[in-house]
Amino acid sequence: MTELLRIEDLHVEVEGKEILKGINLKINEGEIHALMGPNGVGKTSLGYVIAGHPKYKVTKGNLFFKEKNILELRPDERAKLGLFLAFQHPVEIQGVSLNHFLYTINKKISNKGLNFLEFRRSLLERANLIGITQEFLNRQLNVGFSGGEKKRAEVLQLLTVNPKLAVLDEVDSGTDIDSLKTLTAAITEVNKNGTGILLVTHYDRILQYLKPHYIHVLIDGRIEKTGSSELARELESKGYNWLKQEVYAQ
């Protein structure tokens, strides 16, 4: 199985405070990994570090993507290699429609891409899969979007980019059951094409539809436990304090 991402003893700090304290993780092509844990333990930070956010300083360790150490690469260079990050809180961009934003991405990915009319037809097909209308595509990117609408827009970007590895940060937040089923069905289709998925989530709900191969639990900047879907159900039943007590007792 082809390796996509390998993280080795990764230590990261922000403004002098260490937030990731030795992360080790490997994701192969076509695998789905769920990253769980209480608030403030570094889940979102790990996604930002993978994507190359300049706020985060790597003090130790390695980050390989497709066997290439990408720590010195800019975010756009990482994206061109096939990395994708869906934000927990997508930013609003005034004056840029979702439609033209995605068309620009299409041009950047291949340096040429489809012409506008071809792209428009292809985009509408993908949009229909997740319940996005033509009127929605003409709206300014994330401006006035509800939480669920922002997540639909993020998943549409995922479908457009079709990356090698997608980091999805709380794609289930702000979504109702019907929307969640629709979005996870689209993510599953992308995964079937070989895209690796790192899903950041708090809850077992999304894992009922998007079946992970592995679940990792982050506690205080470290992955303290890895397991199957049974681990998510155990966390849902016992809470994170159960695992904290187990970790700190060692």
Within 10 Å of residue 26's Cβ, how many Cβ atoms? 14
Find all residues with CB under 8 Å of 12, minimum gap 6, and list them.
Answer: 18, 19, 20, 42, 45, 49, 56, 57, 58, 59
Q: What is the mean pLDDT of residues 35-62?
A: 94
pLDDT above 90 (res 173): no
Is 214 domain-assigned? yes
Is 100 domain-assigned? no
pLDDT above 90 (res 21): yes
pTM attached to this predicted model? 0.92
H helix intervals, 16-115: 43-51, 75-81, 98-110
- Domain containing residue 241: 3-90+145-248
Among 179-183, 229-233, 246-250, the range of highest mean pLDDT: 179-183
Is 120 domain-assigned? no
Is 103 domain-assigned? no
The model's pLDDT over 76-127, given as tens digits with 9 standing for 90+, comes to 999 999 999 999 889 899 999 999 999 888 887 765 566 778 888 889 999 9
Is 102 domain-assigned? no
Is 227 domain-assigned? yes
pLDDT above 60 (res 12): yes
Band (250; pLDDT cuts 50, 70, 90): low
| The residue to which tokens 């980091």 are assigned | 167
Question: 34 with 201: CB under 8 angstroms?
Answer: yes
- Overall number of domains in the chain: 1
Radius of gyration of the chain (CA): 18
Band (248; pLDDT cuts 50, 70, 90): low
Tell me the C-alpha distance between 195 and 243, whole Å: 30
Tell me the C-alpha distance between 189 and 92, whole Å: 27
Is 125 domain-assigned? no
The CATH number that applies at residue 173 is 3.40.50.300
Is 124 domain-assigned? no
Least-confidence region, from 15-29, 38-52, 201-215, 232-246: 232-246
